[in-house]
């Protein structure tokens, strides 16, 4: 898999910032540690020249950053007999109802036991050798349940990637929040990037980064909680969790963006409920709905009984 060369313009909001921090803000999907290694490996240029002070180089608004990240080292992917709840399958793609606790693709710390390992046992994917995320065009957090698409071949992968890029895929989630939002329905349209001081977290209260758009409407109100239906226009890492937390209503059970409270749940209360898209090969309309998982059903029943 060949990495894409990125050419980025330093915005006014990052004038005078360190190069590594500026890149981490502009590319929230990449960790700052990874970016620092790439700068040290001479994969980054400022206005066509090597940064004189490496990571500590201060950028100036209007400068051009050329980022040529080295391709990721291929992982030794192993097929594993892990049960899959397959909602739909044809020769081009799979739609899977992912359980909580299943990591989507292998990465540092998760070389096995992932959705990709399970898919490789189920079917031989026709993808580029060395691809560390074969067939994956979007993702769900480890503890988020629900619908995810896997492409079986390059043609389907390219078609799905284009559909996601052009926002032609409709994704709807069910989320249980702490407290009830004052606005029963709203659109959250913000900048989105890594938290300035806590690098494992993301934030919608940043001055730059990428745009993130989340729509929600309140479906049911409980004592101290609410059930929301959420839809996404963009697919940033932790987007729903961050937007709702920054709104003042983190997901019940979210250990990263929320706090412990009277409502107990073992994971972020988030379920990828509905998925709609045009088939990447046949163009037929595809619509799927994943049943609410038992743990979330139990949580809702508990809340209704309060």
Write the CB contacts of 109 (distance below 8 Å, at least 6 apart in sequence).
none
Q: Active-site residue among 90, 128, 131, 141?
A: 141
Let me know: does 32 contact 20? Beta carbons within 8 Å: yes
Token code pair at residue 191: 């900048």
| CA 133 to the chain's CA centroid | 14
Give the residue among 161, 141, 149, 166 at the shortest CA–CA distance from 268.
141
Let me know: does 138 contact 275? Beta carbons within 8 Å: no
- Per the annotation, the verdict on 141 as an active-site residue is yes
Write the CB contacts of 121 (distance below 8 Å, at least 6 apart in sequence).
79, 80, 81, 82
C-alpha–C-alpha distance, residues 189 and 243, integer Å? 9
C-alpha–C-alpha distance, residues 85 and 146, integer Å? 10
| DSSP assigned state of 209 | S
Give the residue among 231, 88, 94 at the shortest CA–CA distance from 149.
94
Rounded to a whole number of angstroms, the distance between the first and last alpha carbons of the chain is 52
C-alpha–C-alpha distance, residues 50 and 100, integer Å? 44
Task: Give the active site residues.
Answer: 141
């Amino acid at each position: 898999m060949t990495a894409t060369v990125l050419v980025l313009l330093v915005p006014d909001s990052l004038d005078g910032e360190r190069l590594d921090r500026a890149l981490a803000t502009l590319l929230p999907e990449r960790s700052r540690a990874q970016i620092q290694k790439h700068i040290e490996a001479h994969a980054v240029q400022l206005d066509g020249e090597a940064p004189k002070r490496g990571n500590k180089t201060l950028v100036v608004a209007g400068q051009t950053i050329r980022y040529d990240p080295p391709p990721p080292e291929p992982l030794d992917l192993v097929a594993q007999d892990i049960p899959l709840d397959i909602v739909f399958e044809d020769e081009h793609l799979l739609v899977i109802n992912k359980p909580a606790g299943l990591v989507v693709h292998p990465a540092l710390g998760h070389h096995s036991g992932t959705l990709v390992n399970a898919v490789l046992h189920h079917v031989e994917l026709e993808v580029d050798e060395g691809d560390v995320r074969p067939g994956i065009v979007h993702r769900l957090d480890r503890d988020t349940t629900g619908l995810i698409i896997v492409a079986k071949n390059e043609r389907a992968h390219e078609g799905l990637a284009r559909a996601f890029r052009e926002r032609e895929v409709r994704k709807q989630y069910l989320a249980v929040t702490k407290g009830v939002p004052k606005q029963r329905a709203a659109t959250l349209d913000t900048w989105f990037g890594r938290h300035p001081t806590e690098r494992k977290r993301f934030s919608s209260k940043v001055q730059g980064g990428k745009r993130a758009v989340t729509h929600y409407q309140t479906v049911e109100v409980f004592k101290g909680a609410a059930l929301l239906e959420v839809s996404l226009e963009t697919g940033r890492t932790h987007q729903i969790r961050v937007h709702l937390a920054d709104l003042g209503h983190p997901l019940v059970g979210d250990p990263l963006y929320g706090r412990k409270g009277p409502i107990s749940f073992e994971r972020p209360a988030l379920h990828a409920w509905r998925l709609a898209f045009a088939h990447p090969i046949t163009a037929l309309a595809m619509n799927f709905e994943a049943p609410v998982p038992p743990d979330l059903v139990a949580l809702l029943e508990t809340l209704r009984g309060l």
